[in-house]
Amino acid sequence: MRKMLLLLTMAGLVLFSFQSLFAADYPAKVITIIVPFTAGGPTDTVARLMAVPMSKALNTQVIVENVDGAGGTVGANRAAKSAPDGYTIFLHHIGMATAPALYRKLPYNPITDFEPIGLINEVPMTFVAKKDFPAKNLKELITYVKANKAKVNLANAGLGAASHLCGTLFMTAIETDLTTIPYKGTGPAMNDLLGGQVDFMCDQTTNTTSQIKAGKIKVYGVTTKKRVPSLPDVPTMDEAGLKGFEVAIWHAFYAPKGTPKPIIDKLTKTVQVALKDNMVKQRFGDLGTEPVSEDRATPEALRKHLKAETDKWGPILKKAGVYAD
């Protein structure tokens, strides 16, 4: 028994020093951030903004790879199965917490297949429509879609996307099912909204603020409890008439399970540095999103948050009855 304990301790020590040695040289090459949606969308925007100060802090190139499809689950699966060496990391949003309730056969486990690195930001969503959509405010929008449900369509970025979650909550709240048009990200969905090929969607301020300010789309409400400083004239959904309607999106970084702890620690520190970068703070502010405080940009805070959000949304989505096989 003693011998066994001694052997186990020695094996632990060897592993620990191997990991530390490995981490001392880290990073020695390019780091790839997998983003599970198309380029030009809200999640991609967060990743590309964060990659700039992260590259600087790590003294290596940090690049973004868009692995889109199936509401973020294709990219998440690729990230879960990547080498746990710190050279592939993953940025995803609330979809990490909602996918288990939406997909009967999810090929990865968001909690056990990843090492959390840290939370990044919180983002409000906005209800937006093509410029010539007839409704002037949220109450009119609800009346209009109820009366014209056969011809109104709602864009989203697939089952598991934030836009899907928000759209589902909206349809449940107004007790009306609409035709939904899934894209591989709300970047291309926004192009179709601007072109008038789809009617409306709920999307993150990171993707909608500049189009709203330029008057290229209509906005009906923000989905957070408080108004957004960068869009001060836009009412909350609650103020606009949909009492209690609230959804806030969050993004976070993960690494594949088994990535050595010293590397995770280095990445966490890098994320904390990047969140204090002036360009990031400025751009996040312009786009209506806020970086989290340093104590939330940690593996422990992310682990807790992911569990709490999974517990919160699971029953709500099961009740809404949306599934993929």
Q: Of the two residues 223 and 259, which places its CB atom closer to ligand ASP in the complex?
A: 223
Q: Per CB under 6 A, does 291 bind ligand ASP?
A: no
Q: Is the backbone of residue 288 left (phi > 0), alpha (psi -120 to 50) or beta?
A: left
For residues 324 and 69, is the Cβ–Cβ distance under 8 A?
Answer: no
Residue with the two structure tokens 């970047």: 187
Binder among 53, 75, 86, 187 for ligand ASP (CB under 6 A) = 187
What one-character-per-residue DSSP string does 109-156 give? Answer: -TTTSEEEEEEEEEEEEEEEEETT-S-SSHHHHHHHHHHTTTT-EEEE
Residue 79 sits in the site that holds ligand ASP (CB under 6 A): no
Q: DSSP string spanning 65-97?
A: EE---GGGHHHHHHHHTS-SSSSEEEEE-THHH
Q: Can residue 41 be called a binding residue for ligand ASP (CB under 6 A)?
A: yes
Q: Which of 157, 274, 301, 306 binds ligand ASP (CB under 6 A)?
A: 157
Q: Tell how strand 200-204 and strand 88-92 pair up.
A: unpaired
CB of 18 to ligand ASP, least distance (A): 37
Q: Is 163 in the site for ligand ASP (CB under 6 A)?
A: yes
- Considering only 77, 186, 205, 298, the residue that binds ligand ASP (CB under 6 A) is 186
Which of 38, 121 has the CB closer to ligand ASP? 38
Judged by CB under 6 A, the residue of 27, 34, 42, 75 near ligand ASP is: 42
Query: Kind of pairing, strands 200-204 and 248-256?
Result: unpaired
Length of the chain measured in residues:
325
Stretch that binds ligand ASP, among 180-188, 233-241, 275-283, 313-321 (CB under 6 A): 180-188
Q: How far is the CB of 37 from ligand ASP (least distance, A)?
A: 3
Residues at the contact surface with ligand ASP, assessed by CB under 6 A: 37-38, 41-44, 93, 157, 161-163, 185-187
